[in-house]
Chain A
Amino acid sequence: MPQRHSISFVLNDQPVAIQADPGKSLLDLLRNELGLTGAKQGCDSEGECGACTVLLDGRPVRSCLTPVGKIAGRQVLTIEGLGAPDGLHPLQTAFIEAGAVQCGYCTPGMLLAAKALLDRQPEPSRGQIVEALEGNLCRCTGYSAIFDAVETAAARMRGEGRDQARAALPSPPASSATPVGGDALRRDSVEKVTGRAKYVEDMAVPGLLHARVLRSPHHHARLLSLDPGKAERLPGVVRVLTAADVPGANDLSDYSRNEPVLTPVGDTVKMKGAPVALVVAASPEQARAALEAVGVQYEPLPHTFDVADALREDAFPIYQGGNVLTSHRLAHGDLDAALAGSDVVVETGYQTTYLEHAALEREAVLGYVDQEGRLTIVGGTHEPHWQQAYIARLLALEPREVRVIMPPTGGSFGGRQDPSPLLATALAVHLLRRPVRLVYSRLESFTASPKRHPYRVGYRIGATQDGRLTGVRVRIAANTGGYDAHGQYLPDFAVVASGGAYRWQAVDAQAQSIYTNGPKGGQFRGFGTPQSNHALECTLDELAQQLGEDPLEFRLRNALEQADVSFLGYPIAESLGYGAVLKAIRPRYLESRRRVEAFNATADEAVRKGLGLAGMWYRFGKSGSLRVEAHAELARDGHIVVYCSAPDYGQGIATVMSQLAAEQLGLSRDLIELVNADTALTPDSGIQGASRATYWVGNAVCRAVHNLELAIRGTAAELLDCPPSDLELVDGRVVVQDHPDRSLSLESVAEAFDSLGKSRRVPGFFDLSSQFPEETRPKYTPHFVTGAQTAEVTVDLHTGQVKVDRVVAVHDVGRVINPLDARGQIEGAIMMGLGAALMEEHVPDHSTGFGSYYVPTAKSTPEIEVIPVEVPSYQGPLGAKGLGEAAILPSTPAIINAVSRAIGARMRQLPATPERVLGTIQGRPPEGSRS
């Protein structure tokens, strides 16, 4: 009979013989036994994500679904064998250049799937590329840049275009000479395309223990007892931790009211997946087995997912103080008069649903005690210094006894603001004094991680016959689920986004954040604003239709001008480009309209096309402190080191920071080193949320660099014996103007700093606290970006299936710092907005992974055109504004307006699944809500 156990195969062109269990997966073999961590696990090895793709005899396979037995005698190619940093494969080069790499978690799988295609088909059509990549999910890029990259690489490999196969990426990148506005390549991309980037799950740590969280299976229950005894006696189990083990405050601090890290006995769990105990064992399997052995008793309590139920007089209280967490109201003008003076008043009710971030990397945190005895936590986050404070509070330590480091991270979209996994890991490391890693399963991530808050939004909104908006009344019920998780701050955001960049005579807007026993809501790209904006922009579309107005001209007529009193009741404080945006989209809009009308005039009765338009305004950079700090240092060898905390989970902010520094100094970007997001090394630059990094941290970086430049000039001036104002920085040297022979290298300036005893590291602050005193309104800085998008869709009227054909996105983002990244952020946001419009819906109890929660795949990608409108900001660094989140706001309503217009009826519930679309076409009442 054939051989067993000993398996020989060829791995990345090298013959290998191993002893292995042939029934285990190739993915586990590669990652755990061979140390090749380029292949990623994005789902629970269910074959649903494609991140683990490798080539077996040249064909793409899911390594998680490939038993090791199958590779005997075959060739396996992993990303590590595709091309090394000094000899990149043309696909790798093209991915970097096209901006096809954001968080990089999908990248190894994508590259290998693409390679298999090009090996078989050197001249693939776009359709073939889509088909080949269909099985590989990407949550960041929106796919278009990836398709482009494959086309470019194919052309080059055929000998068209500039470099040939196996060309090395020019290093430093050729474009680094023009830091801002040129297509600056990502600093970390080479690591990512070669599979060398080490994400938390990829880090090898000797003596590592593995933690798993025991979670409530009930949506609402009292925790009666916990007995870890049996679990602790299982092989490999080190400890079962409970609330009783927490040395400090068992909470999430001001991130979330009333949310424990581990639920104490006697207390209630408010949602399924609420944490109850933490099991630590020698292997992940042992930890998993121990979960089932923990003795735990619950008393189930009545539960609801529905805000209407939770608000009822006789509702079962989820919290002592009642089920309303917070509310916020904004009112000015005489609404009754405004509506009475309207020729048309429409009333609408819109509903949105729970959404999952579905970043390709699951929640993963590593912790250890470093050589200095300091508790060190490595995990994706938006604010390392806040986490440091939370951890210190949990463990009753001083913040300086805790270090938080941001590793390469596989996407966030807001999901990584949840401190829970970091806190749980910190607790285990602190108590056991051993290295511990906590990785959520995908199922666990779906159950326990924060979601987009579902909204119910009711509008009453009026206009005059000549198309002028009068008054708006809006009521928003936001479902914050079982825990606060920032839901306390939500109503303000919901309200602000509900009025848009339009002129109103009178406003009455109110939002409530309401507890239910659904999954906890949390931060999610655009925190609390896309839902309101969706309802607003759909309602405006209904109003325009009733008035017989063109939706674009209607919005333009009512667009807020710079000096106008805004929806907030006062003018906004940054430059405003909404009118310019609408004008810029007009030609595309008219083109689309002609196309859609021509199609419909001759179409078969079963299909209709529709064109939709939606706008948005988005308040960026609201969060956190009004005073932000960064540092710049002249290194001993003459290069510049920038220190800041702007965590990069794939959106490319690290590149932006070094670009800004380079531009400020007129230096090439490779002379700039960035030290980012590590509490032991970098200053607190505040939370990275609400797209504030470029504007706020960028400004602080620019100021730090400016201060450093002043110091450099000052010192150099003494040495060169001239006034500082005569000096310029040229190619890494300080030169006396008009005297090129009189110059100093930055290295010698650094030497002079040292000999003079001057610090080579200087801080810079961006501080708006004098403009916005703490005690007075506005509580948040009234800085807004605006944008508008059109969507063209095709609807099958017999089945309700929708295909988005084309999206045009026009955004005022101030000055564009990195066009490639700006495009990538916008395309990624559009695809996420498309998912929310048509397919994404987290159904509690049913959505358990990528097989039951439908994120858009390659085939759903429409043609996308991105047109930036650059209305420079007043105070942003080099005129930039915030970008990353805003682009998602118009996508969903533009698509839904297009569908509604195509079918001649309004889609008021998200997502517009084939079933809901057909139901609306046939006039069936929408089914009962699930959220």
Chain B
Amino acid sequence: MTEYLYPASVDEALRCLEAYQGNARLIAGGTDLMPDLRKARISPRCLVDITRIPALDQIAVTQDFVEVGAAVTLATIRDSAFLNQHVPALVDAARSVGATAIQSVATWVGNIVQAMPAADGAIVALALNAEARIVDGHGERWRPVESLFVEPGVSAVDPCRQIVTRLRFPRPPSPSNGGPCLVVGTAWRRIGRRPSLVLPILACAVKMCLRRDGGRIERAAVALGPVAPVPYRARETEALLQGRPPTGEVFAQAGRVAQGECHPRSNVLRASREYRLAIIPALVSDALSTAAERALSLVQ
């Protein structure tokens, strides 16, 4: 029989993990963990549930960052008024994971720590330049989410020894805040074999910072998956976009560059490599135009 603990603090959670020397495992929503437990793919002696640790279930908006606690569910993200207004890509990505009854309990952090190349939450985190707060016996530090993916299903975070307590990403400059001359828009595009309850054939998240006058792209972040063993930042595409005007032509060109730098694989059920490559331009340029429109709508 497994033990099931509700530590009252992050420290206590760490102590629980330590006490079991690798045989205890963190659990948040548990939606990915449960099938693994049932099939005995993992058999921890103890589950350490962090969802009742005070403050981990908060979304905090500070001067510079949006911080999302490890116990914040995808449903909370999906329903957050602030995120709906300012970071729609994150809201749409949260809505893409499973369905309502999964989103009720599954967390963004959990989605990232699972380290699947097609994880919606991981793809959007990349585009948002998110960082993870990692706590373990050696202390605490921020690490870019992008650096946490080792290979499909393997995260640099060890759930038997380490805790990601929260994620943060730069708060989008808005007319009332931050960048005096920048506006930011985000967008999410996803294609699957059916509208939901299915892993994506391809998903794309974009964050775009535009000069307030709409004249050129300050910088853009473009993330895609599954197009590589881990969620992928399309840096060549981003380089092309930097400093260019936000026009359909530029976005189309960006789509083609993205197509050139991605290396998707074939999957018998979902789609072939060729198909995935074929739709990258449409997906990327669509997401870019939506992000640009959203950014510019803030200027009006």
Instruction: Spell out A's residues near B (CB within 8 Å).
Output: 1-2, 4-5, 21-23, 25, 45-48, 50, 53, 56, 59-62, 64-70, 72, 113, 116, 131-132, 134-136, 606, 796, 798-801, 838-839, 843, 846-847, 850-852, 854, 856-857, 859-860, 913-915, 918-919, 922, 927
Pairwise interchain contact A60-B101, C-beta atoms closer than 8 A: yes
15 contacts between A and B (CB under 8 A): A50-B99, A50-B101, A53-B101, A60-B101, A61-B104, A62-B102, A65-B105, A69-B47, A72-B6, A132-B100, A135-B98, A796-B282, A843-B269, A847-B269, A915-B271
Q: A65-B35, A69-B27, A852-B269 are in contact. List 6 more A-B contacts (CB 8 A).
A: A22-B3, A25-B38, A70-B51, A134-B100, A800-B275, A918-B278
Question: Could you say which of B111-119, B196-204, B205-213 contacts chain A?
Answer: B196-204
Pairwise interchain contact B194-A22, C-beta atoms closer than 8 A: no
B297 at the interface (CB under 8 A from A): no
Pairwise interchain contact B1-A25, C-beta atoms closer than 8 A: no
B-side contacts of A799, CB under 8 Å? 191, 279, 282-283
Pairwise interchain contact B282-A798, C-beta atoms closer than 8 A: yes
The complex places the Cα of A915 from the Cα of B195 at a distance, in Å, of 15
Pairwise interchain contact B196-A857, C-beta atoms closer than 8 A: yes
Q: Which of B85-102 contact A (CB under 8 A)?
A: 95, 98-102
Smallest CB separation, B109 vs chain A (Å): 17
Pairwise interchain contact B34-A70, C-beta atoms closer than 8 A: no
A62-B101, A839-B193 as given contacts; A47 in contact with B35, CB under 8 Å: yes
Pairwise interchain contact A4-B101, C-beta atoms closer than 8 A: no
Q: Which of B25-64 contact A (CB under 8 A)?
A: 27, 30-31, 33-35, 37-38, 47, 49, 51
Pairwise interchain contact B197-A915, C-beta atoms closer than 8 A: no
Smallest CB separation, B159 vs chain A (Å): 15
Closest 5 CB pairs of A and B: A135-B99, A69-B4, A23-B2, A22-B4, A798-B282
Nearest B residue to A54 by beta-carbon distance? B101
Smallest CB separation, A917 vs chain B (Å): 10
B245 at the interface (CB under 8 A from A): no
Smallest CB separation, B116 vs chain A (Å): 13
A135-B102, A919-B275 as given contacts; A4 in contact with B4, CB under 8 Å: yes
B-side contacts of A56, CB under 8 Å? 104-105
B16 at the interface (CB under 8 A from A): yes
Pairwise interchain contact B198-A854, C-beta atoms closer than 8 A: yes
Nearest B residue to A801 by beta-carbon distance? B191
Interface size on B, residues (CB 8 A): 46
The complex places the Cα of A134 from the Cα of B102 at a distance, in Å, of 11
B-side contacts of A843, CB under 8 Å? 268-269
Per-position binary interface string of chain B over residues 258-279, scored 1 when its CB falls under 8 Å from any chain A CB and 0 otherwise: 0000000000110110010011
A45-B35, A918-B278 as given contacts; A846 in contact with B7, CB under 8 Å: no
Pairwise interchain contact B193-A854, C-beta atoms closer than 8 A: yes
A1-B16, A22-B4, A60-B100 as given contacts; A918 in contact with B30, CB under 8 Å: no
A60-B100, A134-B99, A799-B283 as given contacts; A67 in contact with B191, CB under 8 Å: no
The complex places the Cα of A375 from the Cα of B282 at a distance, in Å, of 63
Pairwise interchain contact A134-B194, C-beta atoms closer than 8 A: no
A67-B47, A134-B197, A799-B279 as given contacts; A846 in contact with B268, CB under 8 Å: yes
Pairwise interchain contact A45-B38, C-beta atoms closer than 8 A: yes
The complex places the Cα of A64 from the Cα of B102 at a distance, in Å, of 11
Pairwise interchain contact A65-B34, C-beta atoms closer than 8 A: yes
The complex places the Cα of A856 from the Cα of B197 at a distance, in Å, of 10
Among A21, A839, A856, point to the contact of B2 (Cβ < 8 A).
A21
Smallest CB separation, B226 vs chain A (Å): 15
The complex places the Cα of A135 from the Cα of B104 at a distance, in Å, of 12
A-side contacts of B275, CB under 8 Å? 800, 914-915, 918-919
Among A64, A135, A606, point to the contact of B34 (Cβ < 8 A).
A64
Among B4, B49, B194, point to the contact of A839 (Cβ < 8 A).
B194
Pairwise interchain contact A21-B38, C-beta atoms closer than 8 A: no
B-side contacts of A859, CB under 8 Å? 194-196
Pairwise interchain contact B100-A135, C-beta atoms closer than 8 A: yes
Q: Which of B187-242 contact A (CB under 8 A)?
A: 191, 193-198, 201
Pairwise interchain contact A23-B7, C-beta atoms closer than 8 A: no
Pairwise interchain contact A135-B197, C-beta atoms closer than 8 A: yes
A61-B105, A64-B34, A915-B275 as given contacts; A23 in contact with B47, CB under 8 Å: yes
Smallest CB separation, B236 vs chain A (Å): 21
B-side contacts of A851, CB under 8 Å? 198
B14 at the interface (CB under 8 A from A): no
Pairwise interchain contact B75-A59, C-beta atoms closer than 8 A: yes
B-side contacts of A134, CB under 8 Å? 99-100, 195-197
Nearest B residue to A49 by beta-carbon distance? B197
